[in-house]
Chain A
Amino acid sequence: MLKLSGRLPVLQNLNGAPYLATVTKDEHLAPDQKQTRALLMSEGMNPIGFKAILTKEHRRVSPGQDSDVFQLREEFEYLCDGDIIRLDPSSGSMRCLYRRNSDHNTILLTEQCDHYCLMCSQPPKRIADSWLLTEATELISRIPQETTCLGFSGGEPTLYGRAFIDLLTHTKTCLPMTAIDVLSNGRAFKDISFARQYAAIQHPDLLIGIPIYSDDPVRHNYVVQSQGAFDETIRGILNLKSLNQRVEIRIVIHRQTVGRLVKTCEFIARNLLFVDHVALMGLEITGFTRPNLEVLWIDPYEYRDVLSEAVGVLNSYGMHASVYNHQLCTVNSDIGSNYRKSISDWKNEYLDECRACSRIQDCGGFFSSSKNHKHSKYIKPFR
């Protein structure tokens, strides 16, 4: 697992307040460019004019050096040219916000949420965090246009209302070629005027992923711990599709959802056939899942036939369906064409016994959290 944030020893603090900087290895930039860059120091350099300097060595800052200087620890050595980081020279806190060589860049827009899902991987906090949106806006301006895809997640990003629409508009302006995935509970779109604002962005490649955990409204509301959620989410999806927006339905499979998984897929095929994609996702053992593990955990191997049947229903109806976050040895071979390697690169790992597996290249592997806390008992290398 890559560590995306941490604290670095601060060797020199000139700027005081936190800022974004793009990582570079090039010492010879124009002066105004240097002011937006964090230089990755290597032997023999004596850089002047950079906003920040990241050095591997613990050494004194040479006199005349006009930058914040941070000592880069081993776990952040993955940083490379073009990555974008947030630095706070007062505390030494560093967060990697964008990795140029990754297809799994997700921007956290808020930690606030109107759901309180049993298995939330990013437990909501009731603190004002609109600085995240401000930061995201600046970050978008810095991300290179050739980026193929980018995700926005939360919390619930639509809680920003108009400001969320403005961010997407800004993203379309800065990154017209980039595919954007948004994760939302969809409830805000129950208001058709908000859905119209979203549609009016006319983004060429925007997909919104919205969870429906059960065809039973009571069960869905229970999983997301919110009264009335099912009605508003469905209404939101209907509004978005009536405006030709691309919608993905996401179902996390766990003990509270697996019992009606097939019926839920039948419900989707009967009532929401017009959605663009359905993702059936394995449980990530992080956030609220850990305290709720007893209520949520079911070994994927035990529900593999249910998963096959659910995928079979969606396939029969010609829907686009994908199975995410599962290991090949825990699913039946009949879902092969729906199986995806989906886990973000920075938190994707394999067990020791997987090294012997002949299909490891095709396997999605584990969340780091699964490896550390809970995974199927039936992991068995293919020979």
Chain B
Amino acid sequence: MSQFQTIERYQPTRSTYQLLPFRFTPLDEHQYVLTNLAGEYIVLNRPSLHDLLAHRLSNVDPAYIDLRARHFLMDESAAITPTLLSLKLRTRYQRLAEFTGLHLFVVTLRCEHSCPYCQVSRRSQDTQRYDMTPEAANAALTLAFRSPSQHIKIEFQGGEPLLNFPLIQTIVLEAESRNQTLGKDLAFVIATNLALINDDILSFCRDHAILLSTSLDGPKDLHNANRPRPGGDSYERTVRGITLAREVLGHDRVSALMTTTEASLSRVHDIIDEYVAQSFNGIFLRPLSPYGFALKTRSYHAYNTERWLTFYRQGLDYIIELNRRGHDFAEYYASIILKKMFTSDDPGYVDLMSPAGIGIGAAVYNYDGSVYASDESRMLAEMGKDTFKLGHVLTHTYEDLFTSPALLDPLEESFAYSNPMCHDCAFEPYCGAEPVYHYAMHGDFVARKPESEFCRRNMETFRYLILKMENDPFAKRLFLQWANR
């Protein structure tokens, strides 16, 4: 029909195009992954990448059309591009303005478990020495409510926090009372091994909408070997606690975290099967953190990054197969990364934030009233390095603590976008600054990234996730769902 124009008529009149900010990194032998400012990625082969960079890519090349639509380049047909790109970028960082949402209260260091990997617990009856005082708790609460965030989550940590349950009750009641005028979205979590859970505690949790987060390392033999306690019945008590808590609080009010040890490395299927058997909807396949007793007992170096990656890949493959067979089950570390890949929503996971999550993502009020920039910061302090100690709840003001050099210096120095190698890395939008890890392992907030196990582990994880999606349409669909959980 002559009255209609062909598509050629709508092509840009000039064949020139402008590159928008993006970075690229080899994905495998033949392919590169490119990421734009908003974290969107595209996979190109080497010749196409060369053509793109040399401004030789034809505007009817399918790669060109994808690159233009996903804001890697612009030409005169898409003047709206900078507006959309900046909108996504702003959205990615909007959480910063909210500031600290997660506030960890270490109500006691005491614990009846004696896990060799534990970062911070004490087998002690000395309540004077290892419990938080009500005065400190009250001051910490005042600080937590000073946060501009509309969402305040208070997480009770230990040790085993249920050993100081009366203080938890006091804090919850006081927080609720203060929140009547503040009107914030207030949530509570207790991180507990559940060994001491009982009906009274559960009733309180139910009445105050408190979530429980527990530890489950895998099947009985592995869990009990990892988590010794008097009687050797940690697994039995945890599973009983999960059942009981679900009955009283509801199935989705109890979550579990696993810790990977050397003994776990060959047993990823068993561990996942245990989570499936306990009716969890997913698992967080976590690497062991290098803090506390873990480093002291050398268990951290007992396995290296390569072995963890093998463990992780095997686990992820297994979980994908579970889903392919119709079982809805997620891996949460991948889900966090995928959220960063596919949405402009920051999942707020402290290890994978840049600017770093310390102080901004979370703050820790320790049993002795000292304030730390993150959970890892106080673990590091237990090793004698209090670099990330911001001050004390009774002697410092909110302004003192949250503008202290102990917070601002590492935040500024570690910002990945301006760090050597991170700046050029295509995976920077998915990664984190992690000054605490790098300080612990390398002695400064940045470290040399080629020597960083954190860098290596995450780069390989990002690559693995992208390759999975490139090669398996089912995985792509599944991952898109995980990204939006």
Contact = CB atoms under 8 A, between A and B. Distances in A.
A216 interface: yes
Nearest to B6: A222
Contacts of B483: 316
B124 interface: no
Contact of B10 (A221, A291, A292, A316): A221
Contacts of B79: 231
Interface string A206-231: 00000000011111011001010011
Contacts of B80: 217, 230-231, 234-235
Interface in A182-223: 215-219, 221-222
Given A218-B10, A221-B10, A291-B1, A230 B84 contact: no
Of A118, A217, A309, which is in contact with the most chain B CB atoms at under 10 Å from its CB? A217
A118 B69 contact: no
B88 interface: yes
Nearest to A242: B87
A92 interface: no
B65 interface: yes
Interface in A254-288: 260, 263, 267, 270-271, 273
B154 to A, nearest CB: 27
Contact of A216 (B1, B65, B344, B484): B65
Interface string A349-365: 00000000000000000
B68 A216 contact: yes
Contacts of B40: 270
A116 interface: yes
A85 interface: no
B4 A116 contact: yes
Contacts of B7: 218-219, 222
B5 A225 contact: yes
Contacts of A227: 10
Interface in B67-89: 68-70, 77-80, 83-84, 87-88
A223 to B, nearest CB: 9
Interface in B1-59: 1, 3-7, 9-12, 38, 40
B281 interface: no
Of A216, A238, A317, which is in contact with the most chain B CB atoms at under 10 Å from its CB? A216
A230 B5 contact: no
A267 B71 CA distance: 10
A222 B87 contact: no
A222 B84 contact: no
B330 to A, nearest CB: 13
Contacts of A225: 4-5
A217 B78 contact: yes
A105 B65 CA distance: 40
Interface in A1-55: none
A71 to B, nearest CB: 40
Contacts of A317: 343, 480, 484
Given A271-B84, A292-B4, 9 more contacts: A217-B77, A218-B11, A219-B7, A222-B5, A222-B6, A231-B78, A270-B40, A273-B344, A316-B480
Interface of A: 116, 118, 215-219, 221-222, 225, 227, 230-231, 234-235, 238, 260, 263, 267, 270-271, 273, 291-292, 309, 312-313, 316-318
What are the 5 A-B residue pairs with the smallest beta carbon separation, nearest first? A215-B69, A222-B7, A316-B480, A221-B10, A231-B80
16 contacts: A216-B68, A217-B69, A222-B9, A222-B10, A225-B5, A227-B10, A230-B78, A234-B84, A235-B83, A238-B83, A270-B88, A270-B342, A270-B343, A271-B88, A292-B1, A316-B480
